[in-house]
Chains A and B, each alone.
Chain A
């Protein structure tokens, strides 16, 4: 029995923000782009955002490159694939460092404090390379675009963190770090604050200095001091970002693959979404091998090699085709088992299964194919996978 499959369009009805989440390597970027294209084809003005440093989205949309500014994808490109664009599809790739700099510029009370932050060595390190800031900036940009209101729908391809959860925790971690309230007081090497903080803290600090070195502590103190005028602004903004994520017009789609590990991650991520009271919209499983029962109308052949040999008139080829089919079916059985487990855990009314396509998906033709699967009904999907449609 296949899990019943609702239409994706029903789940996305009335949504303004769609967030595709899941672990790396499950086809999140392609899925995000295909969803955005599907909604644009139905007449909406859609922007898909990615943070992927590997420029995958640009590749698959036929764009030379993407920048921190949105670009429109040529409607003609989709029309060539048989998809009529009634709306508009835009795409952008986030530059976390630039987004962070812009945010600082906006939050800073004056130019001097802005420059103090931008020039601080710790800021320069965390705003670019280090983990966590990318996720935060993705949310930040999402919030900014939503506030500006230029698009009907925003689709976010979340950063490819190993653990999808990083994405949900990053903003909180980063705002806490920037707040640094408790720290600021203790950082000052001497003086009144140290006395107020008490002897315990002073000793702890001196022990820490021995471990990390005085220089780093001084840089940190300067960093937090530079941020001090912006803490309230950051907090207020973080609250508004969280509100947007929890809004009924937002929807989280969990994207995964059919193997045990991505399925477990999807289950875990869904649980965290529910705990955080964030709106879950559905689950998409990519690269699924459909089972024989669904592919073969008229049931399984009792003796497949014989049936094949009769049709092909070649014993050897028939054997090889049958052996290959049995290998494929072993994978199909695993997929069915894992998806059933997933549907049970998520109490999902439907799981959207996108089959493992024969051709590797990396261009618009592949994207168009994924798009057709995503926006089809469950029955249509099976028919397509079986080569009947």
Chain B
């Protein structure tokens, strides 16, 4: 399951919540972060998630996929002769090429995700996972990340890179085993962007978009009548009652405009839309993710 969406929509929280959900169902699950963001580390304060599989909770694992480490691991798996590897890692051209080739980082990252998803793991003593959840990079570059394997398959028309990039592309577009979830916020432009992203993911990349999560939906705490009664207080005198009335009207306004965005998203999205509540919490830790995971049932 690849969790995508634009920056700041809560992809990490939703990824961890999805991971908790799968783990609670008894599936051995791993949440992968990419681009060395280590957001999950931030969530689980006492655990440092690096380029190794760490267990966060029962059945729930995490890894932060570092492209340089992935590249090393890939070469290690390709070249069995140690002297050859050492020479390659020391070689200027190799280091130059791996650092400079655009998209190579994304490619080896997807390669590592593929490796984690294999029933027969390539890495020594690697155990299989039932579910692999990917906290994908923000969609700033459109569908670039997920399209990388195909781009490489096209550049290298034949040869091992071609066939391996093709394998990764098939892996991403395998509708039976790989799904994409889009995380969106209930605002005008994020809704537009999510709809456009879904379109591109389906039409251009050819992946299966299983679900769109509308994250951060405010509760409907006040009715229209409530809002009307609060109007005078909010406009009137000073002090705490005024500030509280203004906060209530703000909540009312946001909850209402978010409902309108939810309706728009439902009209425009092909995949089913699932809402997740806004959590009035200063810091979203594991407990917040757990509460969201219960909503994912």
Residues of A within 8 A of B (CB): 23-26, 53-54, 56, 59, 121-122, 125-126, 129-134, 159-163, 173-174, 176-177, 180, 182-183, 186, 200-201, 203-205, 207-208, 210-216, 219, 257, 260-262, 292, 295-301, 304, 307-308, 311-312, 314, 317, 320-322, 324-325, 327-328, 330-331, 333-334, 337, 356, 358-360, 362, 386-388
Contacts and interface: CB of A to CB of B under 8 A. Distances in A.
B185 to A, nearest CB: 8
24 contacts: A25-B6, A25-B7, A53-B140, A54-B6, A130-B148, A162-B140, A201-B93, A204-B94, A212-B156, A215-B157, A219-B156, A260-B283, A262-B8, A301-B241, A307-B241, A308-B245, A317-B229, A320-B226, A330-B281, A331-B282, A358-B249, A360-B254, A362-B189, A387-B234
A206 to B, nearest CB: 10
Contacts of B238: 296-298, 388
Given A24-B7, A311-B241, A387-B242, A330 B88 contact: no
A353 to B, nearest CB: 16
B70 interface: no
Given A162-B35, A183-B93, A292-B240, A330 B280 contact: yes
B243 A183 contact: no
B257 interface: yes
B154 A125 contact: yes
Contacts of B100: 173, 176-177, 180
Query: Most chain-A Cβ atoms within 10 A of its Cβ — which of B7, B35, B192?
Result: B7
A65 to B, nearest CB: 13
Interface of B is mostly: helix
B119 interface: no
A110 to B, nearest CB: 26
B248 to A, nearest CB: 4
A7 to B, nearest CB: 26
A207 B91 CA distance: 11
A59 B191 CA distance: 13
Interface stretch (B51-59, B101-109, B124-132): B101-109
Contacts of A207: 79, 84, 87-88
Interface stretch (B21-29, B110-118, B159-167, B174-182): B159-167
A328 B138 CA distance: 28
B297 interface: no
A304 B159 CA distance: 72
Interface of B: 6-9, 35, 37, 39, 42, 75, 78-79, 84, 87-88, 91-94, 96-97, 99-103, 106, 137-138, 140-142, 144, 147-148, 151, 154-162, 187-189, 192-193, 196, 221-222, 226, 229-230, 233-235, 238-251, 253-254, 257, 261, 280-283
A325 B93 contact: no
Contact of B242 (A59, A125, A296): A296
A213 B159 contact: yes
Given A131-B106, A298-B238, A386 B243 contact: yes
B155 A201 contact: no
Given A162-B37, A162-B137, A386-B243, A334 B282 contact: yes
B156 A301 contact: no
A56 B103 CA distance: 25
Given A213-B158, A327-B280, A334-B282, A320 B240 contact: no
Contact of A312 (B142, B193, B229, B254): B229
Contact of A213 (B87, B88, B160): B160
A204 B91 contact: yes
Nearest to A30: B189
